[in-house]
Structure 1
Amino acid sequence: MRRKPAISLLSIAVFLFFAASVFFRVTREFLPSAALNSAALRRPHTSLAARELLGSPPPPLDAILLPDWEVLVLLPPDSSSSSISASDGSLFCLFHTGAASPAHPAGASAFRCALPRRLRRIRPFYAPRLSADSAAAGHDFDFAPREMIRWSMSVAYESFSTDDDVIVFAKGINRRKDSVRPAADIKCVFIPASGGPALASTPATSSSQEVFRCPHPSVPPLQPLRVSLAVAPEAAPIATVAEYRSPSLQDRPPSRGRVAVCACTMVFNAAKFLPEWVAYHAAVGIDRFFLYDNASEDELEPVVSRLGSVGFDVVVRSWPWPKTQEAGFSHCAVSNQNDCDWMAFIDVDEFVFAPAWVDFDRPNRSLIDSLLVAPPEVGQVAIRCLEFGPSGHRRHPEAGVTQGYTCRRQIEERHKSFVRLDAINLSLINSIHHFGLKDDSETKFLTLTEARVNHYKYQAWNEFKIKFRRRVSTYVADWKQSTSLGSRDRVPGLGSEAIEPSNWANMFCEVNDTLLQDTTRKWFGTVNLLGQYRMPWQN
């Protein structure tokens, strides 16, 4: 009887030894070896050449875990994805266990890759490094990555410094359109980029959507800083990848001179639509185009380069953050106040058109100006939209959307706006379709006989189904989700699966409308010996 306690103690000891061995083995497999000997994982903020990013030992990189197990690897501010490549053009995300997955450019400042399946159940998630050596997969690497930030949590992702304050773009503070946390509850927190305690904080003066404004800190910019937000007086700052720059150090492209009318849009894999959209709107009076690249994977860079080589003024800004269109438009408005009087916020499938323009034999650059003639109290001109359907097409029309899609719905749907940038409310609040204005400014709505936006929304199915991948608006549900099925953003009767309806090519066809087709054909088209029209953007 006396031997039983001894046997029990021996059994417990054996069990604890076995459990400790298993834990140690798992820890060795899924934690980087450097992390086992470090109390904190920090990335030094350094200027890195492209070759250093792929070198050994590699610098730790920031990464964000997106929905669907996608990893967004962020490059240092002075690097670009086009300058980082292997000899054969392939790159890999190499994780601390040796697991690897192909890395693809996501705009100019980031790469995307998939989180390997065997790492998805292990917490925490660690950021990968970029590797040009596929043979490196399966080997351990002695580097200390940062823990990945999860996009489902609160994150400060961008900042912009004006002369008077810093604007912080952050998700997770104001989670719903109708629920805004008061600015009095929020403060901006300034942290060394290399880690460590906060150096300063300033109280927020504005809180709206994902945009927050604070005074600049009084600390001298002796070291690289990041800016975050804290919600309660004693609360820890939220995760941040937002670099802070004082007004004198704010990264601004060289001035191209002030112009009258600009256009701003967010693009994702829209390169093939740009030549038509840019050429048309430049011809009717838009001087400069700002493209916020939402992690495109197509030929955006060479297409923009070709447009620039023939005289179009097109500026691309990397904006890889998912579902942040409102914040992107706020950034575009505030960062270009010194460059543009008016800004049109329209998509690349939207074309501004006035029925009276059909009487012109050729376009002229005063046509847009004629729509913006208004008393000084008008700070925004809103133009109603007409939605066009596939018009019988089963693939993208070679001559462009204005030539191919000519059948539309009867009723107007929503509107888009030209905004005078100095009239925008300091909160920068917008609903994509229009901005909030200062108290002394108002919006003027044009009638459909004065102007309209041709919205080529329901295109050939192989183009349209791409919209199911993700929606860019912050407060709009992705179409794959079975929520908000009655939203005006949804397609009537389509549901939440990208399954082509049997009669898709002929849907949304209630009015045959060739006004813009006829006008652009007259303005831009050439006729070959067979009597066929060819548009300049076809090549």
Structure 2
Amino acid sequence: PEPARAHRHDAPLVLFPASTVGNAGDGASGRSPEMLKWSDRIVYESVVIVGGDVLVFAKGVNRRKKVNRAAADIRCLYYRADAGNAVASLPATTSAQQVFRCPPPPATTPVDLELRVTLAVVGEQPIPSLATYDLPRRRDSPPMSSHVTESTPSGKRLICACTMVRDVAKFLREWVVYHAAVGVDRFYVYDNGSEDDLVDQVRHLTSDGFEVFTMSWPWPKTLEAALSYSAAVHRDSCEWMVFIDVDEFLFSPHWVHSENPTKSMLHSITTVGEDIGQVSMWCADFGPSGQTAHPKEGVIQGYTCRRQIMERRKSLVRLGAVDRSLTNSVHYFLLQPGFRSKWNTRVRVNHYKYQAWDEFKVKFRRRASTYTVDWTNKKNPRSNDRTPGLGFEAVEPAGWPHRFCEVNDTLLRDVTRRWYGLGFGNKLGRRRIIGTTPGSSYNV
């Protein structure tokens, strides 16, 4: 399997210059590499999905939130990587955010031909591209690179979880162990340029029986695009997908008297009508809870004080109901006609958002969302994404350990102590329980 790698985009990128692509059958001589920065307009990724459509990911085409160019104004260009000859020019079928759906090249295209794919807005030059066109993989091949062994079972799972990570490997085990116990069957981890021990953490988890798949997704500030990619690529692998961060944990206060966790806890959420394409849950934001460093007992047992008002939402999404455009706002997806969203007030998301300062200040480095301004940028000072009382620099405010503490909420701490003992998040308590793979078990 391919290990996680660090990717930096502050240096120029060497691209195959799609701007030299000619008409179908024309040659393009004298091509030379093109130097661009990530801040330029770029086609950066593509993937062939079930059914044959090609998703092309590009920045700089739809520049403003909720303002998209018409698909009819965009052409999908397939061209030879060695000579630049255009093999096909086809109209895009959807255009939303950074995701464009394209028809595949003609079936007569030689299978041994190395092709690249790019986009061209009508009346403009083709966009420089990093993306290749790869023929659809065999249906029995794994959906992405992983550390799961060949004995890992295939087949569709009821509930999967998708997250994007960067240098948060130390939190991964607690997040996976907990969610696997309450009903998540498979985990997809998109690595946004981690430089920590993510590879080792994933290897340990998979050797313990968890289904954890990783994919390198190095592109900065492309979270919405990554979630669109995941929703499309894993549609045949998962019935439902929850898109959450590793500091977010699904929880129901109705579980507090349970002696042991069971997969039915989350599986019951999916018992809804066939017209329900999305189940939304409120988020409870937890504060530092008096902690001045990462708590030795782990996140969900170490942070126990939260804000009173529950805001925003996260959603459990039926992948077959997602709109063809794959439009999302991180918190929810646009659904196909005939499907609707439903709120579930019995389950919430415990969001350990405001942690000990040394952990929290890392968020100043970069926000993951395409449409969220980085905190060091003074634009949109009243954005809901910003932290109340925080400036534009990573300077610890006075009294930080006791901020955002309005409700003492120990429900999840107490129930996980009953299930696993003290500090299962950092493997202080060890107990053997049933794993996600049939017949397996694992230690926590």
Q: TM-score, normalised by structure 2?
A: 0.86
**Residue 317 (1) aligns with residue 204 (2):** no
Task: Write the deviation string for residues 312-360 of structure 1: whole angstroms up to 9, x where unpaired.
Answer: 1100011000000000001011101111110011110000001110010
**Residue 524 (1) aligns with residue 420 (2):** yes
Q: 1:113 to 1:427 in 2, by over 3 A?
A: closer
The corresponding residue for 2:104 is 216
Q: 1:372 to 1:250 in 2, by over 3 A?
A: closer
SS at match of 1:466: helix
The corresponding residue for 1:291 is 189
The corresponding residue for 2:281 is 383
Residue number among 118, 134, 156 corresponding to 2:43 in the alignment: 156
- Structure 2 distance, partners of 1:439, 1:126, is 40
Structure 1 residue runs without a partner (length 5+): 1-78, 83-106, 116-124, 129-143
Structure 2 residue runs without a partner (length 5+): 16-30, 144-152, 432-442
Q: Kindly indicate whether the alpha-carbon contact (under 8 Å) linking 2:277 and 2:340 is maintained by their aligned counterparts in 1.
A: yes
Q: Once the 2 structures are TM-superposed, how far is the Cα of residue 296 of structure 1 from its aligned partner? A: 0.6
- Structure 1 distance, partners of 2:14, 2:44, is 16
- Structure 1 distance, partners of 2:304, 2:175, is 16
The corresponding residue for 1:171 is 59
Task: Write the deviation string for residues 347-393 of structure 1: whole angstroms up to 9, x where unpaired.
Answer: 10000001110010010111101122211111110010000000011
- Structure 2 distance, partners of 1:305, 1:271, is 12
Greater shift, 298-307 or 484-493, is seen at 484-493
Indicate the RMSD between aligned Cα atoms, in angstroms.
2.4
**Residue 470 (1) aligns with residue 366 (2):** yes
Aligned partner letter, 1:326: E
**Residue 410 (1) aligns with residue 304 (2):** no
Trace 1:235-246 onto structure 2 (pairs within 5 A).
235-246=124-135
Q: Kindly indicate whether the alpha-carbon contact (under 8 Å) linking 2:297 and 2:428 is maintained by their aligned counterparts in 1.
A: yes
Q: Once the 2 structures are TM-superposed, how far is the Cα of residue 297 of structure 1 from its aligned partner? A: 0.7
- Structure 2 distance, partners of 1:452, 1:536, is 27
- Structure 2 distance, partners of 1:178, 1:472, is 18
- Structure 1 distance, partners of 2:59, 2:72, is 18
Residue number among 349, 373, 385 corresponding to 1:489 in the alignment: 385
Q: 1:195 to 1:395 in 2, by over 3 A?
A: farther
- Structure 2 distance, partners of 1:173, 1:127, is 20
Aligned residue-pair number: 404
Q: Once the 2 structures are TM-superposed, how far is the Cα of residue 247 of structure 1 from its aligned partner? A: 2.5
- Which of the pair has the greater relative contact order for Cα pairs under 8 Å at 6+ separation? 2
Residue number among 199, 216, 224 corresponding to 2:87 in the alignment: 199
Trace 1:329-340 onto structure 2 (pairs within 5 A).
329-340=227-238
Aligned partner letter, 1:198: A
- Structure 1 distance, partners of 2:218, 2:138, is 22
The corresponding residue for 2:75 is 187
Residue number among 246, 257, 265 corresponding to 1:348 in the alignment: 246
Larger radius of gyration: 1
Q: 1:369 to 1:126 in 2, by over 3 A?
A: closer
Q: Kindly indicate whether the alpha-carbon contact (under 8 Å) linking 2:283 and 2:311 is maintained by their aligned counterparts in 1.
A: yes
The corresponding residue for 1:507 is 403
The corresponding residue for 2:437 is none
Q: Once the 2 structures are TM-superposed, how far is the Cα of residue 127 of structure 1 from its aligned partner? A: 4.8
SS at match of 2:309: strand
**Residue 480 (1) aligns with residue 368 (2):** no
The corresponding residue for 2:146 is none
Aligned partner letter, 2:37: R
Pick the structure with more helix per residue: 1
Q: Kindly indicate whether the alpha-carbon contact (under 8 Å) linking 1:211 and 1:428 is maintained by their aligned counterparts in 2.
A: yes
The corresponding residue for 1:5 is none
Aligned partner letter, 2:161: A
Trace 1:19-168 onto structure 2 (pairs within 5 A).
80=2, 82=3, 107-108=4-5, 111-112=7-8, 115=11, 127=14, 146-162=33-49, 163-168=51-56
Q: Kindly indicate whether the alpha-carbon contact (under 8 Å) linking 2:279 and 2:343 is maintained by their aligned counterparts in 1.
A: yes
Q: Kindly indicate whether the alpha-carbon contact (under 8 Å) linking 2:53 and 2:102 is maintained by their aligned counterparts in 1.
A: yes
Aligned partner letter, 1:242: A
Q: Once the 2 structures are TM-superposed, how far is the Cα of residue 220 of structure 1 from its aligned partner? A: 2.9
Aligned partner letter, 1:406: T
Q: Once the 2 structures are TM-superposed, how far is the Cα of residue 251 of structure 1 from its aligned partner? A: 11
The corresponding residue for 1:300 is 198
Return structure 1 stretches of 4+ with deviation > 6 angstroms.
Answer: none
Aligned partner letter, 2:288: P
Aligned partner letter, 1:180: N
Aligned partner letter, 1:481: N
- Structure 1 distance, partners of 2:9, 2:321, is 41
- Structure 2 distance, partners of 1:444, 1:331, is 24
Q: 1:168 to 1:280 in 2, by over 3 A?
A: same
The corresponding residue for 2:321 is 423
Identity level (%) = 52
Q: Once the 2 structures are TM-superposed, how far is the Cα of residue 165 of structure 1 from its aligned partner? A: 1.3
Aligned partner letter, 2:212: V
